[in-house]
Amino acid sequence: MATNDSLWLPDGDLDAAHREFAQRIRAFAEEKLAPHARTIDEDRTFRRAMVADLATAGILGGPLAKELGGQGWTPLQLALAHEELGAVCGNARGFCAVQTGLVAQCLAKFGDDAQRARWLGPLVRGEAIGCFALTEPDAGSDVAGMRTTAQRDGSGWRVHGRKWWITNGGIADVMILFATVDPAQGRNGITAFLVDTKRPGLLRSPMPGIELGHRGSDHAVLDFDGFAVAGNEVLGPVGKGFGVAMGGLAAGRLSVAAGAVGIQRAALAAAVAFTTGRKQFGQALAAFQMVQERLADMLTSLHASRGLVHRCAMRRAAGTETHADVAMAKLYATEAAAKAADEAVMLHGARGYSSAFPVERLWRDIQALRIYEGTSMIQKGILGRMLAAE
């Protein structure tokens, strides 16, 4: 049986400009990321050279406006790029989602001229690494329950508290840090700060344990003990940080959803390649109808996921996006990708259980996409509340 990647690539549904764009990012990912995707996972190392490669290819500045040093990508281009990155290296896609999606784009939207001038260029050129420090041990989904405090100290602030699971936290030069200036005010006390990480009062340590996936990424615990923040390092107004966080996450969910489409695609491609080559009972596995049924379900859910992602991107470009659009795209695409990765492992038999084949990494990596930037249950909660209110 011949494989036919046109069945699962997006190219046939795209106009010439977007097709060329997707193919360019695909070629980049194959040349620069694919050769390292397995080793950085097995060695559990963050590869700094990857940052330079992403910057040189224009990917780090991709969605930023051209006047800010970016490429001015449309939301559809962002979705296509993150599908291509996600299909090859979840660590690279995750890095871009934080560096550009959460840090640079929040800075572009909420920062003042001086903040943008200081950090946007280095972030786009890969000279500085950014992190987005929101989650705490006792405040994950419940962001408004955060306990990290920022207390007035002259014209600035002193921060005390702990953040964890912070991607790039151990290596970041700049951080968007969320802390409450008044715990009694709940979400109205939360304030965002844009700070240089290289200051006293911050202890960075690796997350305890070994992560299930995204093992070529840096995840850190950040302990703040009187960490000094200057008065001009507030990002957006004091007390409006909850909106900065939610705005950043809502925008970033498109990247996560698109990355999940990439994982689904990679899982399907691997499953087709394997089952068409592997023979049992005198014929290729893919000749068995029960195997075909699984492949058919994977193909269909891939296109359904991509459809939701592209719909969200189109609505974002048109200015008609609602919270439901990206919630549906993230919820559906990540859950479908988890199922597809699971099927791909099963279809590989024992080989699927080994890092010698890519599907076990896909299976491990996809779990985080169901969790971060709002778990699947949180996405359902967003949708449920919208429905119940109408």
Ligand X SMILES: Cc1cc2nc3c(=O)[nH]c(=O)nc-3n(C[C@H](O)[C@H](O)[C@H](O)COP(=O)(O)OP(=O)(O)OC[C@H]3O[C@@H](n4cnc5c(N)ncnc54)[C@H](O)[C@@H]3O)c2cc1C
Q: Does 214 bind ligand X (CB under 6 A)?
A: yes
Scan for tokens 């921060």, then name that residue.
Answer: 159
Q: CB under 6 A: which stretch of 40-48, 78-86, 184-192, 376-384 binds ligand X?
A: 376-384
Pick 211 or 297: Cβ nearer ligand X: 211
Contact with ligand X (CB under 6 A) among 122, 145, 206, 381: 381
Least distance from ligand X to the Cβ atom of residue 267, Å = 19
**Beta-carbon contacts of residue 167 (< 8 Å; ≥ 6 apart):** 94, 95, 98, 131, 132, 214, 217, 218, 219
Query: What end-to-end distance do the CA atoms of the chain give, in Å?
Result: 50
With helix as H, strand as E and coil as C, how does 309-367 read?
A: HHHHHHHHHHCCCCHHHHHHHHHHHHHHHHHHHHHHHHHCHHHHHCCCCCHHHHHHHHH
Number of residues that bind ligand X (CB under 6 A): 19
Q: Is the dihedral of CA 52, 58, 61, 66 positive or negative?
A: positive
Q: Which residues pair with 202 in a beta bridge?
A: 224
Could you say which of 30, 127, 373, 390 is catalytic? 373
Between β-strands 283-284 and 279-280, what pairing exists: parallel, antiparallel or unpaired?
A: antiparallel
How far apart CA 242 and CA 101 sit, in angstroms, is 17
Pick 269 or 366: Cβ nearer ligand X: 366
User: What tokens does 360 get?
Assistant: 């076990």
- Closest-by-Cβ residue to ligand X is 140
Q: CB under 6 A: which stretch of 152-160, 333-341, 346-354, 375-383 binds ligand X?
A: 375-383
Least distance from ligand X to the Cβ atom of residue 302, Å = 23
Pick 163 or 306: Cβ nearer ligand X: 163
Least distance from ligand X to the Cβ atom of residue 382, Å = 10
Least distance from ligand X to the Cβ atom of residue 371, Å = 5
Least distance from ligand X to the Cβ atom of residue 240, Å = 18
Pick 292 or 375: Cβ nearer ligand X: 375
Contact with ligand X (CB under 6 A) among 121, 188, 375, 383: 375
Pick 110 or 274: Cβ nearer ligand X: 110
DSSP state of 7: G
H or E stretch at 203:
strand 202-206
User: For this structure, is 373 an active site residue?
Assistant: yes
Least distance from ligand X to the Cβ atom of residue 169, Å = 7
Contact with ligand X (CB under 6 A) among 98, 106, 222, 272: 98
**Beta-carbon contacts of residue 135 (< 8 Å; ≥ 6 apart):** 163, 164, 165, 166
Contact with ligand X (CB under 6 A) among 83, 372, 379, 382: 372
**Residues 37-76: x where in contact with ligand X by CB under 6 A, - otherwise, as a string:** ----------------------------------------
Pick 201 or 381: Cβ nearer ligand X: 381
Least distance from ligand X to the Cβ atom of residue 369, Å = 9
Scan for tokens 């964890």, then name that residue.
Answer: 164
User: What tokens does 242 get?
Assistant: 């909850």
Q: What is the DSSP string of 229-290?
A: E-GGGB-SSTT-HHHHHHHHHHHHHHHHHHHHHHHHHHHHHHHHHHHHH-EETTEEGGGSHH
Instruction: Report, in this order, helix, strand and coil percent for the chain, each rounded to 5.
Output: 60, 15, 25
Q: Does 247 bind ligand X (CB under 6 A)?
A: no
Pick 192 or 299: Cβ nearer ligand X: 192
Strands (E), 45-189: 130-133, 149-153, 156-167, 174-180
Scanning residues 110 to 169, which ones bind ligand X (CB under 6 A)? 132-135, 140-141, 165-167
How far apart CA 133 and CA 148 sit, in angstroms, is 11
Q: Which residues bind ligand X (CB under 6 A)?
A: 98, 132-135, 140-141, 165-167, 214, 219, 368, 371-372, 375, 377-378, 381
Q: Which residues are catalytic?
A: 373
